[in-house]
Amino acid sequence: MTSSITSIPQVDQFLQSIVDSEYAQYALLVPLLFGTLKLTILLLRFGSLIFDTFILPPVDYRKFGAYTGNWAVVTGASDGIGKEFALQLAKRGMSIVLVSRTQSKLELLAKEISATYKVGTKIVAFDAAADDEANYSELEKAIFDTPVTILVNNVGQSHSIPVPFLETEQKELRDIITINNTATLRITQIVAPNIVSTVERANTTNSKSARLKGLVLTMGSFGGLLPTPYLATYSGSKAFLQAWSSALAGELAPFGVDVELVISYLVTSAMSKIKRPSATIPTPKQFVAATLNSVGRRNGAQDRFATSTPYWTHALMHFAIENTVGVYSKIANTLNLKMHQSIRARALKKQKRLAGEKQD
């Protein structure tokens, strides 16, 4: 009791010394100002997310040449997200070049688009895993003398189930890198020069108020946003696309071409093997609508140049991770590891059960 009473004057004396010392005041003021600045920036970023995601009106595709005979090239177009990109761009007045592996599916989709939206269609049967120069030549022929203003790099592949990198089959590894990276880059090298020349030709004759823009969208993933154990090859391939796409954005901006990486969490699709949508897992139709409505806005990707996380729950998740534990933290890595170990265990159990049923 006596000790606590006698310590009070000492505390008062210490506090008084801080009040009297100019250096001590500055020492306290600097972290206070820094903390206030960080909080202000965080609030501004969150306000920008809300504004981009929930308030701004949908993008008008006339700036990309909609309803004036211009074309969009969509890869991986026969199913899922790619099919939705083709349908929704056609609905917005773009003619469509459909690029995918299965000729019969492309033909059916081309007929549906032509009949429903009264726009032009072309098809290119293209096996991205083959990395065959003949495929790239066919694509080049298909768009020759065609005014293209939009490219959607949607073709992609993940692992069949989560798998340790050291156990990844060579074919799966090579297919993922070839499809996600090599094919995406080669297709962009073929299509992007057409977009640049189309924009340049249009803008030499149009008035400044009606200047045409070009657009290159490339599908990213939370798997590339966060290093993902048990999906290491896929995760690395998508992280590569982040760096490449942002670099390309800087190169093509002077030519009037916007380049954007689109980050998504899970979407109901054949790749994700998820059939039932939820608040965090939209349908391809919902996801593509959010993407096309907000092109050019960062949504949840506030810290990343030429990048968007368009679907609202994905945007909030991205923002939360980036501004708490961080995408490269040990905590995020460990949580990701445990989640994909669990998914792998369930997938192996299901495979074993189905194998047993076949034997019976």
pLDDT 10s digit of each residue in the chain, 360 long?
Answer: 444 444 567 666 665 665 666 666 667 777 888 888 888 989 999 999 999 999 999 999 999 999 999 999 999 999 999 999 999 999 999 999 999 999 999 999 999 999 999 999 999 999 999 999 999 999 999 999 999 999 999 999 999 999 999 999 999 999 999 999 999 999 999 999 999 999 999 999 876 667 999 999 999 999 999 999 999 999 999 999 999 999 999 999 999 999 999 999 999 988 888 889 999 999 999 999 999 999 999 999 998 999 999 999 999 999 999 999 999 999 999 999 999 999 999 999 999 998 887 776
Q: What integer pLDDT is reported at residue 4 of this predicted model? A: 46
> Is there a contact between 72 and 97 (Cβ–Cβ < 8 Å)?
yes
234 included as an active-site residue? yes
Quote the CA–CA distance of 99 and 14 in Å, as a whole number.
74
- 213: which residues sit within 8 A by CB, 6+ positions away? 63, 64, 149, 199, 256, 257, 258
Q: What integer pLDDT is reported at residue 13 of this predicted model? A: 67
Q: What integer pLDDT is reported at residue 207 of this predicted model? A: 63
DSSP, res 299: B
Return the closest-CA partner of residue 117 out of 67, 62, 60. 67
Q: Which fold has domain 55-346?
A: Rossmann fold (3.40.50)
> Is there a contact between 294 and 56 (Cβ–Cβ < 8 Å)?
yes
Q: Which one is catalytic: 61, 117, 234, 265?
A: 234
Give the DSSP H/E element, type plus range, for residue 341: helix 330-359
Q: Flag whether 221 is marked binding.
A: yes
> Is there a contact between 336 and 226 (Cβ–Cβ < 8 Å)?
yes
Quote the CA–CA distance of 324 and 331 in Å, as a whole number.
10
Q: What integer pLDDT is reported at residue 2 of this predicted model? A: 45
Q: What integer pLDDT is reported at residue 358 of this predicted model? A: 74
Under DSSP, is residue 64 helix (H, G, I), strand (E, B) or coil?
helix
* pTM across the whole model: 0.90
Q: What integer pLDDT is reported at residue 208 of this predicted model? A: 60
Quote the CA–CA distance of 332 and 321 in Å, as a whole number.
8
Domain locations along the chain? 55-346
Quote the CA–CA distance of 260 and 311 in Å, as a whole number.
15
